[in-house]
C-alpha cells in the first residue's frame, strides 16, 4: 500500500532529515508534499531526485493526505496537527505539544508499537530525543526483570539546539581553538567549547530542567509503567551530533550481566558493542547518521545487587527525531491503520 504524505516544517533541520530518511528507507509514497511557514513557502526542496516547491501550511493543504510527518514549534503543532487530523490524516508529531496527552500515543516502534492501534485524536506523538534511545535500551531488560528505577546522566550534543546551536558551537570552537575570545553564546546558555552546560534548558519549579522532566514523564509513558522511578541529569557537551547516556537501572528481579548482554544483542533497533570482545564501545561518531541505538559497557552495579549500569548512544536528529517518526509511519502502513 502506498500513501499520500505531507511533511510539515520541511525546511527545518528535522524536516530536512525526514525527507532524507523517507527516501533512504523507501517509504511507500503515492504522493508527497512539503509544507512550511510563510518564511520558507515558495522555496525548493529535493526529494528522491526531484525538486518540489514548499507550500504554505494551511488547512486546505491537508486534503487527501493520509500521513503527516510534522516537525514544528509546539505552538504551530497545537494549531495545525488537529486540523490535519480532522482532514483525515494521521499526524506523527515531533513537537512536545501532544506527548503527555492521554489520547495521543507516545511511540517508539521497538518498544510500544501496539499503541498505534489506539489513536483517539488522529495524532501520534514522537518522544523526546533522550527518552527514545533510553527506552529502546530499557525494553529488552524490562521484559526480563522489570525496571524499578532509572538514574541517567546525559551527554547531549549541540545539534539538540538545531542549526542555530551548531552555528553557535562552531563559532565558539573556532575562536577557542585559536586562542581568541569566545563569542557570546546565542543559542546555548553558556560557552560550550571546552565546557559542559547543565542548564541549557529552562529550569522548572521542581528544580529539574524542562528537558529532565520530559525524560521522567515520557519514559514512564512509553514503558507503560507510571511506577518506574526516573532521575535524570541532562548535560550539554561539546559534540556536534548524537546524544550519549550513562544509565544505571535497578530491577525488581535479579538480572545477570550475561543475560542482559544476550537480550540487548538481539533486541530490535540495538547495536550491541561488547567492550570485553574486541574493546569496542559506543561513541557519538558511531551513532551519527544511523537509525540504531548503540549500547555497551554493561556491568553490575557494585552498590546494588539488582542493578546494572550501561552506556547508550544515538543520533538525536535521526533516531531521536526524524527516523523514529518515519518508523512510526511505516508501522501505520504495515499494520493497516492508515486507510
CATH code for the domain of 230: 3.30.360.10
Q: pTM of the predicted model, to two decimals?
A: 0.95
Do residues 329 and 214 both lie within one domain? no
117: number of Cβ within 10 Å? 12
Do residues 138 and 273 both lie within one domain? yes
Do residues 303 and 185 both lie within one domain? yes
Tell me, yes or no, whether 304 lies in a domain.
yes
Do residues 59 and 173 both lie within one domain? no
Q: CA-to-CA distance for 289 and 241, rounded, in angstroms? A: 9
Do residues 95 and 182 both lie within one domain? no
243 is catalytic: yes
CATH code for the domain of 49: 3.40.50.720
Do residues 251 and 302 both lie within one domain? yes
Q: Which of 142, 188, 243, 286 does the annotation list as catalytic?
A: 243
Do residues 116 and 245 both lie within one domain? no
Tell me, yes or no, whether 196 lies in a domain.
yes
307-322 pLDDT, tens digit per residue, is: 999 999 999 999 999 9
Do residues 58 and 111 both lie within one domain? yes
- What is the extent of the structural domain holding 300? 131-316
Q: Which of 104, 129, 135, 328 does the annotation list as catalytic?
A: 129
Q: CA-to-CA distance for 218 and 98, rounded, in angstroms? A: 11
Question: How many domains is the chain built from?
Answer: 2
DSSP H or E run through 6? strand 3-8
Q: CA-to-CA distance for 156 and 91, rounded, in angstroms? A: 27
Tell me, yes or no, whether 108 lies in a domain.
yes
pLDDT at residue 305 in the model: 92
Do residues 170 and 302 both lie within one domain? yes
Residue 222 is placed in which grid cell?
512509553
Do residues 143 and 256 both lie within one domain? yes
Q: What is the DSSP letter of 11?
A: T
Strands 67-70 and 90-93: parallel
Do residues 163 and 227 both lie within one domain? yes
Triad 214, 96, 94: Cα angle to 5°: 120
Do residues 30 and 105 both lie within one domain? yes
Q: CA-to-CA distance for 10 and 164, rounded, in angstroms? A: 17
104 is catalytic: no
CA-based radius of gyration for the chain:
20
Tell me, yes or no, whether 175 lies in a domain.
yes
Tell me, yes or no, whether 295 lies in a domain.
yes
Tell me, yes or no, whether 339 lies in a domain.
no
Q: Which residues of the chain have pLDDT under 70?
A: none
pLDDT at residue 224 in the model: 97
Amino acid at each position: 500500500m502506498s500513501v499520500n504524505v505531507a511533511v510539515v516544517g520541511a525546511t527545518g533541520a528535522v524536516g530536512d532529515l525526514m525527507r532524507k530518511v523517507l527516501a533512504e528507507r523507501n517509504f511507500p509514497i503515492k504522493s508527497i508534499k512539503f509544507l512550511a511557514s510563510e518564511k520558507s513557502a515558495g522555496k525548493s526542496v529535493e526529494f528522491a531526485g526531484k525538486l518540489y516547491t514548499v507550500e504554505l501550511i494551511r488547512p486546505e493543504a491537508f486534503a487527501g493526505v493520509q500521513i503527516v510527518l510534522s516537525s514544528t514549534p509546539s505552538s504551530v503543532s497545537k494549531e495545525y496537527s488537529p486540523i490535519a487530523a480532522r482532514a483525515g490524516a494521521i499526524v506523527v508529531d515531533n513537537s512536545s505539544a501532544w506527548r503527555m496527552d492521554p489520547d495521543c500515543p507516545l511511540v517508539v516502534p521497538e518498544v510500544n508499537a501496539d499503541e498505534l492501534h489506539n489513536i483517539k485524536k488522529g495524532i501520534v506523538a514522537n518522544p523526546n530525543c533522550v527518552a527514545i534511545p533510553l527506552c529502546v535500551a530499557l525494553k529488552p531488560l524490562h521484559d526480563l526483570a522489570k525496571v524499578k528505577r532509572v538514574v541517567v546522566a546525559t551527554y547531549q550534543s549541540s545539534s539538540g539546539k538545531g542549526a542555530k546551536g551548531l552555528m553557535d558551537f562552531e563559532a565558539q570552537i573556532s575562536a577557542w581553538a585559536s586562542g581568541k575570545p569566545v563569542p557570546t553564546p546565542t543559542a546555548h546558555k553558556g560557552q560550550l567549547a571546552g565546557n559542559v552546560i547543565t542548564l541549557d534548558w529552562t529550569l522548572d519549579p521542581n528544580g529539574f530542567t524542562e528537558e529532565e522532566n520530559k525524560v521522567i514523564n515520557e519514559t514512564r509513558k512509553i514503558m507503560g509503567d507510571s511506577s518506574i522511578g526516573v532521575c535524570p541529569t541532562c548535560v550539554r557537551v561539546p559534540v556536534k551530533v548524537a546524544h550519549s547516556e550513562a544509565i544505571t537501572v535497578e530491577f525488581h528481579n535479579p538480572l545477570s550481566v550475561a543475560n542482559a548482554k544476550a537480550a540487548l544483542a538481539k533486541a530490535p533497533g540495538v547495536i550491541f558493542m561488547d567492550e570485553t570482545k574486541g574493546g569496542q564501545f559506543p561513541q557519538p561518531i558511531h551513532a551519527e547518521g544511523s537509525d540504531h541505538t548503540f549500547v555497551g559497557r554493561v556491568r553490575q552495579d557494585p552498590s546494588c545487587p539488582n542493578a546494572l549500569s550501561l552506556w547508550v548512544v544515538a543520533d538525536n536528529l535521526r533516531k531521536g527525531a526524524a527516523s523514529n517518526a518515519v518508523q512510526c509511519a511505516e508501522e501505520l502502513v504495515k499494520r493497516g491503520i492508515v486507510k
